[in-house]
């Protein structure tokens, strides 16, 4: 049975903070940081936005594009490392808000930056086995970096939602391949507000090892080579890692350009790879083939081969695009940023 | 507000479910048990209202009620939905100076309030100016 994407939707909050604004507070060299991370600014959620509101808005767009009855959605999975509740699934709020409830299975996923693509794989399995007609997979985050930490320049907010089904596909997912190991490159302990990471250890043994081996595994499994793809999207914790990974794997600058959003919105964690794919789908033509490889610290990678169908041209156009959300922005200073991201203690 | 009291209304808060009177064809929000015009001849049925409308009037809140103190100044408006009913709502993603009477608005899913740091979080519909596309 063919399995793929019936519709997708995105959401990026409108607040932005520039690298210069953060660097000025912590004595960082803004130009050096921008050059090193290849990030200019990041998107941050407002006081009344969180992973649930991002997931709902993105999913409503995905539903509008797919044009399906939400009651036909049999599974809702939300991948995030910033679920509003430690215990009470974001997927329950989402299920009610899009009226997929009550007859559905649902759960929240957490796998650092790749929980959303893990949700896509689960939905592929449930749809492919005939257990459900449609599944909804969301990757959304309002990521936090500790004040003064390098992560503060990139940890961003945003998300994307994908409706997975087997009919009326805008894109077919032909294959997926995953690699997972126990790698302590980045973590957040229970009850701790900010994550910690292994600095340079997040590179070779973590990001590159998993992204490269999952992508190579997918290419081998599908008998495809980088030249067979029109686009490639890699997880983008900064601008440097995906560019280096692409180069090492034999993908060109032209193939990855369209799906690289980190420079303008930061690393949206579980949303990052899925927003990159959405940016490509906003533009791709029928027949285009897309390689997608997500990465989540801890660590693991999910790689996909996706081919766009003729249906995309008729279903696209009515819902807001990634660029629509990137364009609408309001810059804030560091003081407003710490208030919006609740980095200061306010008496209640 | 207690969690059960909010939960009872989530259908209307998440998706603007009101009621339509089959006799006079008027829509009401929030849902009510009887049509004030048709009274005993009321034929009310649940209806999902479109989350679009325009600002009838608005005010700027500087002295906020509990739970909203950090958001001041913010816009509160009476919005007339395209299908008739009027409701009171916060207007978000809009600068104070850009608010105006007659301004078109659309619904957006947001956090309404939360019971402290360890209590339930309440979600629902707020309104914003329509997103500019292309």
CA A42 to chain B, closest CA, distance in angstroms equals 17
Q: A148 — phi, psi (to 5°)? A: 90, -15
Give residue B132's pLDDT band: very low, low, confident or very high (50, 70, 90). Answer: low
pLDDT for residue B116: 86
User: Is A97–B123 a contact, with Cβ atoms under 8 angstroms apart?
Assistant: yes
Same domain membership, residue B58 and residue B17? no
Q: Judge whether A30 and A24 are in contact, CB under 8 Å.
A: yes
pLDDT for residue B117: 86
pLDDT for residue A348: 61
Same domain membership, residue B79 and residue B28? no
Range with lowest mean pLDDT among A204-213, B96-105, B112-121: B112-121
Same domain membership, residue B26 and residue B58? no
pTM for the predicted model, two decimal places: 0.97
Give domain limits for chain A: 4-170+313-340, 173-309
d(CA B111, CA A57): 12
Superfamily of A173-309 according to CATH: Thiolase/Chalcone synthase (3.40.47.10)
Give residue B134's pLDDT band: very low, low, confident or very high (50, 70, 90). Answer: very low
CA A136 to chain B, closest CA, distance in angstroms equals 18
Same domain membership, residue B19 and residue B44? yes
Pairing mode, if any, of strands A231-234 and B27-28?
Answer: unpaired
Residue B80 structural domain: 50-134
Q: What is the pLDDT of residues B53-65, one digit of tens each?
A: 999 999 999 999 9
Same domain membership, residue B127 and residue B66? yes
Same domain membership, residue B117 and residue B58? yes
d(CA A167, CA A77): 20
d(CA A41, CA A26): 16
Q: Judge whether A80 and A269 are in contact, CB under 8 Å.
A: yes
Active site residues of A: 81, 113, 235
Q: What is the ipTM of this complex?
A: 0.96
User: Is B134–A324 a contact, with Cβ atoms under 8 angstroms apart?
Assistant: yes
Nearest to A328 among B70, B71, B132 (CB): B132
- The segments of chain A whose pLDDT lies below 50 read none
Same domain membership, residue B60 and residue B109? yes
Helix (H), strand (E), coil (C) string for chain A: CCCEEEEEEEECCCEEEEHHHHHHHHCCCHHHHHHHHCCCEEEECCCCCCHHHHHHHHHHHHHHHHCCCHHHEEEEEEECCCCCCCCCCHHHHHHHHCCCCCCCEEEEECECECHHHHHHHHHHHHHHCCCCCEEEEEEEEECCCCCCCHHHHCECEEEEEEEEECCCCCEEEEEEEEEECCCCCEECCCCCCCCEECHHHHHHHHHHHHHHHHHHHHHHHHCCCHHHCCEEEECCCCCHHHHHHHHHHCCCHHHHHCCCCHHHHCECHHHHHHHHHHHHHCCCCCCCEEEEEEEECCCEEEEEEEEECCHHHHHCCCCCCHHHHHHCCEECCHHHHHHHCCCCCCCC
Q: Name the 3-class secondary structure at B7.
A: helix
With beta carbons under 8 A apart, name residues in chain B contacting A48. 71, 92, 110-112, 126
Task: Please indicate whether residue B115 or residue A247 has the higher confidence score (pLDDT).
Answer: A247
| Angle, helices A90-97/A51-66, rounded to nearest 10 degrees | 40
Nearest to B117 among A47, A328, A348 (CB): A348
Same domain membership, residue B84 and residue B23? no
Same domain membership, residue B55 and residue B33? no
Q: Do A4-170+313-340 and A173-309 come out as alike in CATH topology?
A: yes
CATH code for the part of the protein at A4-170+313-340: 3.40.47.10
Same domain membership, residue B75 and residue B61? yes
Percentage of chain A beyond pLDDT 90 is 96
Same domain membership, residue B63 and residue B121? yes
Say if residue B133's pLDDT is above 50.
no
User: Is B70–A56 a contact, with Cβ atoms under 8 angstroms apart?
Assistant: no
């Amino acid at each position: 049975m063919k399995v793929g994407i019936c519709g997708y939707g995105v959401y990026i909050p409108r607040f932005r903070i520039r690298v210069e604004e953060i660097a000025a507070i912590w004595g960082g060299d803004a130009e050096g940081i921008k050059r090193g991370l290849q990030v200019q600014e990041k998107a941050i959620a407002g006081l009344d936005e969180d992973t649930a509101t991002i997931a709902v808005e993105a999913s409503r767009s995905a539903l509008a594009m797919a044009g399906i009855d939400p009651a036909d959605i049999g599974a809702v999975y939300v991948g995030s490392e910033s679920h509003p509740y430690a215990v009470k699934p974001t997927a329950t709020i989402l299920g009610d808000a899009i009226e997929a409830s009550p007859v559905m299975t649902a759960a929240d996923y957490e796998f650092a930056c790749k929980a959303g693509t893990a949700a896509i794989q689960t939905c592929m399995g449930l749809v492919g086995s005939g257990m459900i007609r449609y599944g909804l997979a969301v990757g959304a985050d309002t990521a936090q970096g500790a004040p003064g930490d390098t992560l503060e320049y990139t940890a961003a907010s945003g998300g994307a939602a994908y409706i997975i089904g087997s009919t009326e596909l805008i894109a077919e997912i032909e294959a997926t391949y995953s690699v997972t190991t126990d790698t302590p490159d980045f973590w957040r302990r229970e009850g701790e507000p900010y994550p910690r990471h292994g600095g340079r250890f997040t590179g070779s043994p973590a990001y590159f090892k998993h992204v490269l081996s999952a992508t190579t595994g997918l290419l081998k499994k599908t008998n495809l080579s980088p030249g067979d793809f029109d686009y490639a999207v890699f997880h983008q914790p900064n601008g440097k890692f995906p560019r280096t990974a692409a180069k090492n794997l034999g993908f060109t600058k032209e193939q990855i350009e369209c799906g690289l959003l980190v420079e303008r919105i930061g690393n949206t964690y579980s949303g990052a790879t899925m927003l990159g794919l959405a940016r490509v789908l906003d533009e791709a033509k029928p027949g285009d083939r897309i390689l997608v490889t997500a990465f989540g610290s801890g660590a693991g990678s999910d790689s996909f081969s996706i081919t766009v169908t003729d249906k995309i041209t008729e279903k696209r156009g009515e819902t807001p695009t990634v660029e629509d959300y990137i364009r609408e922005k309001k810059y804030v200073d560091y003081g407003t940023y710490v208030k919006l991201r609740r980095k200061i203690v306010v008496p209640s | 507000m207690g969690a059960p009291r909010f939960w009872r209304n989530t259908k209307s808060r998440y998706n603007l479910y009101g009621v339509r009177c089959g006799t006079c064809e008027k829509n009401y929000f929030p849902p009510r048990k009887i049509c004030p015009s048709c009274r005993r001849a009321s034929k009310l049925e649940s209806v999902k209202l479109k989350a679009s409308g325009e600002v009838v009037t608005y005010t700027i809140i500087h002295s906020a009620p509990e739970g909203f103190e950090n958001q001041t100044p913010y816009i509160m408006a009476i919005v007339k939905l395209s299908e008739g009913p009027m409701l009171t709502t916060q207007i978000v993603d809009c600068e104070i100076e850009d608010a105006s009477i007659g301004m078109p608005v659309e619904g957006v899913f947001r956090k309404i309030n939360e019971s402290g740091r360890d209590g339930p979080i309440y979600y629902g519909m707020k309104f914003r100016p329509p997103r500019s596309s292309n």
